[in-house]
Amino acid sequence: MKTRQFTSIVILLVLLVSQSVSAQSKSKIIGIWYNSDKTAQIEIMENADEMIGKLVWIQREDGDPAVFTDLVNADTSLRNRPLMGLTILKGLKFKNGIWSEGEIYDPESGLSYNCELQLKKKDILEIRGFLGDTWVSRTVEWNRVKK
């Protein structure tokens, strides 16, 4: 009987520790990241059971106000919405070291793509965007903003 209780306690502890490690790994991408050409910063945060990313800084180009609206969106009714604060990453779920099942919006093209993210190093995040199947894809790296 004591062996059975001991085994139950060990199993419970293993489950608790594995959930804690998974939660720590899942949150490693939380923070602010430069896009690949360092013209924007995206804040990645947890929202319910998924990760999302919002534009929090855009490099100014001679004060051109068009830089700050979603001018090329395929949906013409959205072209006047501000880019600042816009959610450009959504639906990302963590599994086996990869955040997948997500969608990324590219304000430069006005198009959305399926995406997955993977932390390559502590401060380097690989973003892979693709249409439909993953064999037609583009991969970029974002760098964490240093505090």
pTM of the model: 0.79
Q: Which pLDDT value is given to residue 17?
A: 36
Asked whether 57 and 70 are in contact (CB, 8 A), the reply is: no
pLDDT at 136: 87
Q: What is the mean pLDDT of the chain?
A: 85
The answer to whether the CB of 115 falls within 8 A of the CB of 129 is yes
Show the CA angle centred on residue 85, arms to residues 64 and 69, nearest 5°: 30
Task: State residue 35's pLDDT score.
Answer: 97
pLDDT of residue 4: 59
Q: State the Cα angle at 62 between 60 and 68, rounded to 5°.
A: 45
Instruction: Say if residues 137 and 100 touch (Cβ distance below 8 Å).
Output: no
Residue 144 has pLDDT above 50, yes or no: yes
Residue 1 has pLDDT above 80, yes or no: no
CATH topology of domain 29-144: Lipocalin (2.40.128)
Mean pLDDT along residues 77-95: 96
* pLDDT on residue 13: 35
Query: Around Cβ 73, how many Cβ atoms within 10 Å?
Result: 18
Check whether 102 has a pLDDT greater than 60. yes
